[in-house]
Structure 1
Amino acid sequence: MKISFALSLVCLFSVGSVASAEDTATAEAADTVVLFDGKDLTGWVGREDLWSTEDGQIVGRTTDSDPIDGNTFLIYKAEEFENFELTAEFKIEGGNSGIQYRSRVVDEAKYVVSGYQADIDDANKFAGILYEEKARGILALRGETVTIGSDGKKSKVQFGNAEKLGNGIHPGKWNDFRVVADGNHLQHFINGAMTSEVIDEQSDKAAKTGIIALQLHKGPAMTVRFKNIKIRKL
């Protein structure tokens, strides 16, 4: 009887654990938004001469023969997001790009936005930093945790070596970017390693919600590719 009772408890625990895992997976799936289906740019707006889809990827491309005169963006207009975990794969060849989040459109005609940016660059100098486009500029460099006070003053802690973190990023190859925005706590991860972190307490500047967008930077010719772009709402 004791053995049977013990076995029953083990079975009940196992069934409960499986059910709990399934419930969690179902809840996460329900809270996940696929921003790009690998087929077309439904939900996105931007310059059609610069953005396209190829082989299941979003591709942004500029040329030296017809350079752009300012930063421009492919904007996801279907929905805005507040607290979330965003995951995407990127590959960049030349130039500078980034994933905008909690951002806002400031020029609809030219597809220009302002807001938080998870930075990407071919030179691998800025990849992974937190930059605020058309606002406060660099908020945290690679390897930094920065707390921005209500007065805008920054307090910095170095949690990692910028060069070593950069060695884990591979320009010209596919990389995984993960952005976590939870309240005023913002974190960037590339290929599993945290690259920058900000606690933004400047309430008159800190964005709490906004759009997602992808950047093409003015300057030399470049190509940037994105795929598997998803957001899990927190």
Structure 2
Amino acid sequence: MLSDPAVAAEVTNPPQCKNCFIGELQLSPNPADPSGNTKLLAADLLYVDGNAQVWKAGAGDVTDGASIPGLFQPIIGGPWEKAYLPAAVMHDHYTNNAHMVRTWQSTARMFFSAMVVGNVEIIRAKLMYYAVYVFGPHWDKLAPGVPCGTNCIFSATSQMTFKPADYANAHGAELEQLKATIAAREISGDPLNLNDIENMARAKHPTHVFFVNDNTR
């Protein structure tokens, strides 16, 4: 992970790296939240994906990255899991109503690649990808967005229709079953790729409205 606070808000054109973070995750207390369940991003954090698209979580963003839903706790672990948190901060930003400037599909894939870059164990990363792909928030159109540099869009300028996340604990059995499948395929030397995982999600949830109406496949 590239980690230099001095260049947190600067990306070259073309970007100086792919599948990398630029800047360092720095969090500070949120004065508006005495419970401590949320924190503020103290400096910009950027992520460049494999397509050289730049993703930015900005200084002052509120994140509840620590508030890992109960559904995810058996996968990720306890609050402020270090490897997971930078990817979670990025995912929090781009699934917020004000920042839905890229598709839910590309946002989920960014989340996966950011987890891998952050050294989240691959079985966990694939399981989390399935979880957000199926149960995470979905939206059907993009907001125009506010540019934040080359290939970078930061915040939305209008609202849009979306389906909120459903991270109910009742989905735990489905994830446990999938975890065993992912692990078996890793051990066999024939690991599931993201297309495989998406196809499994669609087969399991054939009436999911955002799968039925997905024109990207």
Larger fraction in helix? 2
TM-score, normalization by structure 2: 0.33
Identify, as 1 or 2, the structure richer in strand. Answer: 1
Larger radius of gyration: 1
Higher relative contact order (CA 8 A, sep 6+): 1
TM-score (norm. length: structure 1): 0.31
